[in-house]
Amino acid sequence: MAQFKNYIGGKWQDARSGQEFDRRNPATGEVIGTYTRSDARDVDDAVAAAAKAFQSWRLYPAPKRGEILYRVGQLLMERKQQLAREMTEEMGKVLTEAGGDVQEGIDMAFYMAGEGRRQWGQTVPAESPNKWAMSVRKPLGVVAAITPWNFPMAIPTWKIMPALVTGNTVVFKPASYTSRMAVRLVEVFEEAGLPAGVLNLVLGSGQDVGDAIVKHPDVALISFTGSTETGTAVNVEAARRLKRVSLELGGKNAIIVMEDADINNAVDGILWSAFGTSGQRCTAASRVIAHRQISDELTSRLAERAGGMRLGSGLDATTDVGPVVSQSQLERVHAYIAVGKNEGAELAVGGEIATQGELARGHFHQPTVFGNVRADMRIAQEEIFGPVTAVIPVSDMDEAVAVANNVQYGLSAAIYTRDVNRAFRAMQDIYTGILYVNAGTIGAEIQLPFGGTKATGNGHREAGQAALDVVTEWQSIYVDYSGRLQRAQID
Ligand code: UN1
């Protein structure tokens, strides 16, 4: 049985508790490995190691930090297939998507490696003669990365890489379901030559580990991706200590399909966005806002295609939809089927936990489409995080935009239309962090900001240049070389 440990101060070590937990493949129930179970004492050790390493890492030339990230990117490329396989075994997504998840980490490695030679500040004129004015980015210190199980490679890289290239050190607490993938990522950093203590890994539960990280006085920033409920609790705790927090939380993402749209293209985009990763993406399309003229046709086309999707292990090349991550998630998702039916939504396809043959060993839910959903129903308002989507008929563009905006979240949205005016209306009036025209709600690229409005977060963005703002502070520097007192705003 494979055993996985913490990585603290450059050493792989067991948690102080001496206890372990295990993880099972969500498609088959087979045990993947055992993991050391950490608590607040291990968090103390990890933060101390990171704080110590910060003193030298902040002075390590940024281009050299970037070179280490570049090597990380190369190693991830070499291991992409193996990592993807292990990811599928650990959290269930189909192999091609697991490859995409690793690729997103590779993309981030190369992008942030380049930041080693950028990290632009501003040089501006000073108001007095013989005076210099400029701004530089400064690292915050010890940064905590608390990450979810649905993108076990991509999301850790979004948090860890910008932090490292700008001179922060990191304490990494992955979701316990995907601890092995976190170990694999940290192994790559170690092999790439990252100095001891710069990146530390603490395995364990949110309650035992996450909580201790959030409350630790020497953690400067908490970068968290997960549920809105947990994110709110993190924000409250951090606020008491004036810590910076970057939150990436829920979504209730909509695809608008107007009557002039290319319906074939829309159907492909909806299926990919609603059922990719078994609907377990923050960006998943769990609402389809369809013009009444085409909503029945769209619903039946979606039902026909969704009904033909093959459930199974993500390692099997013929599988379209893998399992959901755990039994508790399966039950949570399935509970929404009854909610939708009770609210009067029409079940167009799916709706059952799948238990035929081999599927009984794992946590499988049929891809599910509800038709004739009203915008105020719970299945049209609450994040389900599973393979369930709801078609909401609307009468015109105004109503489509209003329905799209009328949820508590604001991560991603999409519109299918051939009318350029409607496309620009959507860009202007839909209040989300990410917007697609003639594409589904998933598939963000790492060179643009990722994040959302309203209850999706707290105003920060990951990826792209925006990521640097989260992990640095500005220092404005004035150099007076006049040799005398020059009073700003007065002389
Ligand atoms: C997430 O669901 O938390 O845009 C991240 C996408 C992916 C990232 C999703 N590139 O769907």
**Residue whose CA lies nearest to ligand 1 atom number 11:** 442
Report the residue among 150, 151, 223, 224 best suited for mutation to probe ligand 1: largest number of ligand atoms under 8 A from its CB. 151
User: Domain span at residue 405?
Assistant: 253-437
* 225 and 273 together in one domain: no
**Mean pLDDT (whole number) for 15-26:** 96
* 340 and 419 together in one domain: yes
Inter-axis angle of helices 179-191 and 154-165, nearest 10: 40
Domain of residue 306, CATH code: 3.40.309.10
Residue 482 lies in a domain: no
User: Does pLDDT of 1 surpass 90?
Assistant: no
* 245 and 391 together in one domain: no
Residue 484 lies in a domain: no
* 178 and 279 together in one domain: no
Number of H helices, E strands in the chain: 14, 24
The atom number, within ligand 1, closest to the CA of 100 reads 10
**Residue 181 beta carbon below 6 angstroms from any ligand 1 atom:** no
| Interval between CA 66 and ligand 1 midpoint (Å) | 24
* 227 and 276 together in one domain: no
**Residue 281 beta carbon below 6 angstroms from any ligand 1 atom:** yes
Q: Give the pLDDT confidence of 423-451 residue by residue, as tens digits.
A: 999 999 999 999 999 999 999 999 999 99
| Interval between CA 395 and ligand 1 midpoint (Å) | 30
Residue 451 lies in a domain: no
**Mean pLDDT (whole number) for 407-420:** 98
User: Does pLDDT of 85 surpass 90?
Assistant: yes
The atom number, within ligand 1, closest to the CA of 248 reads 3
The atom number, within ligand 1, closest to the CA of 444 reads 4
Quick one: pLDDT at residue 118?
A: 97
* 220 and 277 together in one domain: no
Q: Give the pLDDT confidence of 101-139 residue by residue, as tens digits.
A: 999 999 999 999 999 999 999 999 999 999 999 999 999
* 233 and 259 together in one domain: no
**Residue 93 beta carbon below 6 angstroms from any ligand 1 atom:** no
* 288 and 361 together in one domain: yes
* Measured distance CA(92)–CA(324) in Å, rounded: 7
Residue 448 lies in a domain: no
Residue 41 lies in a domain: yes
Q: How far is CA 189 from CA 59, 173, 446, in A?
A: 19, 15, 20
Residue 483 lies in a domain: no
* 138 and 68 together in one domain: yes
Residue 172 lies in a domain: yes
Q: Give the pLDDT confidence of 217-273 residue by residue, as tens digits.
A: 999 999 999 999 999 999 999 999 999 999 999 999 999 999 999 999 999 999 999
**Residue 443 beta carbon below 6 angstroms from any ligand 1 atom:** yes
* 34 and 107 together in one domain: yes
Number of separate domains in the chain:
2
| Interval between CA 406 and ligand 1 midpoint (Å) | 22
Q: Give the pLDDT confidence of 258-285 residue by residue, as tens digits.
A: 999 999 999 999 999 999 999 999 999 9
Burial group, residue 112, by CB count within 10 angstroms (0-12, 13-18, 19+)? buried
Q: How far is CA 490 from CA 127, 316, 483, 485, 486, in A?
A: 10, 74, 17, 11, 8
**Residue 313 beta carbon below 6 angstroms from any ligand 1 atom:** no
* 45 and 109 together in one domain: yes
**Mean pLDDT (whole number) for 296-323:** 98
| Interval between CA 282 and ligand 1 midpoint (Å) | 6
* 394 and 365 together in one domain: yes
Cβ atoms 381, 253 nearer than 8 A: no
The atom number, within ligand 1, closest to the CA of 443 reads 4
Residue 329: name the closest of 380, 383, 285 by CA.
383
| Interval between CA 308 and ligand 1 midpoint (Å) | 25
Mean pLDDT across the chain? 97
Residue 72: name the closest of 38, 105, 35, 100 by CA.
105
**Residue 282 beta carbon below 6 angstroms from any ligand 1 atom:** yes
The atom number, within ligand 1, closest to the CA of 148 reads 3
Quick one: pLDDT at residue 432?
A: 98
Q: Give the pLDDT confidence of 354-381 residue by residue, as tens digits.
A: 999 999 999 999 999 999 999 999 999 9
Cβ atoms 415, 457 nearer than 8 A: no
Residue 443 lies in a domain: no
**Residue 444 beta carbon below 6 angstroms from any ligand 1 atom:** yes
| Interval between CA 10 and ligand 1 midpoint (Å) | 30
Residues annotated catalytic, as ranges: 248, 282
| Interval between CA 450 and ligand 1 midpoint (Å) | 9
**Residue whose CA lies nearest to ligand 1 atom number 3:** 282
